[in-house]
Structure formats: C-alpha cells, structure tokens
Amino acid sequence: MIEIDHLTKRYSRHTAVDDISFSVGLGEVVGFLGPNGAGKTTTLRMLTGYLPPSSGFASVDGHDVFRAPLAARRKIGYLPESVPLYLDMRVREYLTFRGQIKGLRSRDLKRRLDEVLDQCGLQSVRRKMIKTLSKGFRQRVGIADALIHDPPLLILDEPTNGLDPNQIRAIRKLIKSLGEKHTILVSTHILSEVAMLCNKIIIIDNGRIKAADSPTNLVGQMRAAGRISAELKGPSGDIGKALGNIAGVKKVTHELSKDAWEHFSIFVESGTDAREHIANLAQKHLWPLRSLFRHEATLEEVFVELTRKD
C-alpha cells in the first residue's frame, strides 16, 4: 500500500528526513514512532503530498505521490495533528462540504455520510455546531472527514493528542475497528496504544529509520540488559557480592530495606535468565528467599534504547 524509497527532506543546512525507506502492506496497522523533531510529521506531510521532497520516491497504492499527486491523494484519508475544522458549520453540513470537495455527489455522498456518521459515533451530534463539541467529538469529525471518500489508506497524526482518558479509549476503539477494513499508518507518542493497535512499528530518530518490525520482535531483539528482582533475608553486603559473581550478571543494586527483607535488582545480559542460579545461591547460604521475578522488556524500553542520545 505504501512504498517509500530513499526519501529525503532538507531545509537549508538542516536535514529533517534523511534517506529513509520502508513499506506498509495492505491491511496492516502500523505505528510510526519517534521523539519530538525526529521527522515523523515531515514524512507524513511528504507522503500525503503537502510537502515536496528534496529527493527520493513515495507511492500509495501504486500511484507516485509526486508525479501523480491527485491519484495518490484519492487513496488517502489524512488526519493532521491539529485538525482544521470550520467551527461555524454543523457536523453534517461540514462533512457534506468535505465530501463534495473530494468528488462525491448525490446518492454516493448521502450513503457515505450516513456510513461515516455511524462509524465515528456522530449521529447524536450531526446537527450540532462544531464549535460546541468536545475535543473528543472534534477528533471524531476529523476522522469522519478522512473517511468520507472511503480511502483504502488512513494516515493519522497524533489522533489522541490532548484527549482525556475516556476520549482516548473511544478513539482507540474506533481506530481498531477501522483497521479491519483499512490500512492505517498512525503516528503517536502513546506506546501502550501502539502495542494494542499495531501489528508493525517503525521507529524514526534524527530523520533516520532505527527499526521496523512487529512489537513482539522488537522487544525480543532488545540489546539492553534484562532485570530480575529478588527479596532475600540475610547480610546485604554478602548477598550483593554473591549475586554479582553469578555468570551473566552485569550489575546488582540494593534498595534500602523497609522490613527485614533485602531487596535487590539484578541486571543480566540480554537473553540470560539467572533465576535458577539465584535460587541455588540462596539455598546454599541458607538465605530465605521470598520473591524472585524476571521483568520482561517493554516497548517503552525498546523506544528509549533506540532513541536515547548517550
């Protein structure tokens, strides 16, 4: 559905997007992640034809975004980060206007209006002025606008930005349902949202692609140390020294005890599980062991590892 090849965008001496390449297949829901200023929005604006590239190629459903922009745009429904709405229009009036701009007429327009009002949960507010709506409903209007011409590809830039938790859950549920019939590329800072919605993640930083894979594979490929938590009873100095001597252990930290139990965090090399060795060590020295837990890597840790500056 999306093919990007060596895409670059330069502003004078600053390179916002630096020779990136990636693809999004038909029916995929893809999270596009990166810190502020990483090049996410610039990439989306080039992909949707709002910005010309300095070099490179991009296509949507086989249409070159730069040589055949109108054909490509007909395949795209775009929700920008700041949704531009006409606040003095009613919801149905606005969507009718937007549908006409996108080439819909008479029966097709009426059919699509009814469909997107239902899909986006807007039937109850269809006659209300947009300026009277909550931000959550305004986001729904923006998504309905992106959907009105029934494009195969939806590009959503920070779709839950500024919403309260209930509104976020509603928009997340809507996006999940849309993913059953559309290819979706969603840019967001909410990593838990990406893990729930997306079957593929692309991470960009400093204008370059750092990773592109499924959430499960990205977590599995973590280079960072794993972490084990243990609670034992005994002399903290002796326990800490013994834990540090276990093969594969990189670092041991001790937390100030609030009870009779000593709390340790044991950082181990990637792919290493030292729990059996820790349990054997406790048994050998007769140190009572209350808990032993291995922390699984998270998508947040993957993101931090790939984008941290140190």
Report pLDDT digits (tens) over 296-306: 777 877 787 77
CATH topology of domain 226-307: Alpha-Beta Plaits (3.30.70)
User: Would the pLDDT of 271 be above 80?
Assistant: no
Question: Are 292 and 278 a contacting pair, CB within 8 Å?
Answer: yes
User: Would the pLDDT of 224 be above 60?
Assistant: no
pTM of the predicted model, to two decimals? Answer: 0.80
Mean of the per-residue pLDDT values of the chain: 90
Every domain of the chain with CATH number 3.40.50.300 lies at 2-220
**Per-residue model confidence (pLDDT) at position 227:** 86
> In which band, very low, low, confident or very high, does the pLDDT at 127 lie, cut at 50, 70 and 90?
very high
> In which band, very low, low, confident or very high, does the pLDDT at 307 lie, cut at 50, 70 and 90?
confident
**Per-residue model confidence (pLDDT) at position 298:** 76
Spatial neighbors of 73 by CB under 8 A, at least 6 apart, are 48, 49
Every domain of the chain with CATH number 3.30.70.1340 lies at 226-307
> Can you tell me the mean pLDDT for 39-56?
93
| Cα–Cα distance, 172 to 154 (Å, whole number) | 14
Question: Are 302 and 223 a contacting pair, CB within 8 Å?
Answer: no
Among the listed residues 51, 52, 64, the one whose alpha carbon sits nearest the alpha carbon of residue 4 = 64
Identify which has the larger pLDDT, 93 or 273: 93
> In which band, very low, low, confident or very high, does the pLDDT at 222 lie, cut at 50, 70 and 90?
low
Strands 2-11, 14-24: pairing kind: antiparallel
Crossing angle of helices 165-178 and 135-147, in 10° steps, is 10
User: Would the pLDDT of 104 be above 80?
Assistant: yes
What top-level class would CATH report for the domain 2-220? alpha beta
Crossing angle of helices 236-244 and 275-284, in 10° steps, is 140
User: Would the pLDDT of 29 be above 90?
Assistant: yes
Q: For the chain, what is the radius of gyration of the CA atoms?
A: 25
